[in-house]
Amino acid sequence: MTTAAAKSAACVFCDAFARTDDPLVVFRGTACVVILNLYPYNNGHLMVVPVRHVGRLADLTPGELGELMQLTRVVEMALQEMYQPHGFNMGLNLGQSAGAGVLDHLHMHVVPRWNGDTNFMTVVGETRVLPEDLAKTAERLRPILRRLVAGIR
């Protein structure tokens, strides 16, 4: 088992989790953390990330896997309440050939989508269009996540 502290020097997630005041962290669970994507495709682009530095689903304990999926569910509910998107992209990119930006620390992307959204700008124009600042997103999202998580415990 690799701890977050041991991998801190090389992993953006472990670095963020080691700080108690990281502005992108919107919720800390027992085994997983919900964090805003620093380079989002859309408003509310979040990731649910195990605290333990692991790169594959097969490496997760049953408890970690359960919390990863439970928090992914809660994140979907929170983003639906907050933004009323028309849909979601959710997924894991495992390995470089699959498009993983962080190769060895598993993370579940949750991306709200709207009909006619500007996600194409990232691909075509190498530009991101976000009408809401990440700090504002975090401020609005934290109380919703706390309330929803409290309701399932």
Closest Cα to residue 67, out of 17, 33, 99, 103?
33
- What mean pLDDT value characterizes the chain? 86
Q: What is the mean pLDDT of residues 56-75?
A: 96
pTM above threshold 0.95 = no
Catalytic residue among 45, 53, 107, 109: 107
| Residue 151 to residue 70: CA distance in whole angstroms | 12
Task: Say if residue 59's pLDDT is above 80.
Answer: yes
Q: What pLDDT, on a 0 to 100 scale, did the predictor assign at position 24?
A: 94
Is 107 a known active-site residue? yes
According to CATH, the superfamily of the domain at 4-152 is HIT-like (3.30.428.10)
Q: What's the pLDDT score for residue 10?
A: 79
Domain residues of the chain, as ranges?
4-152
pLDDT of 145 strictly over 70: yes
Is 58 or 125 the better-scoring residue by pLDDT? Answer: 58
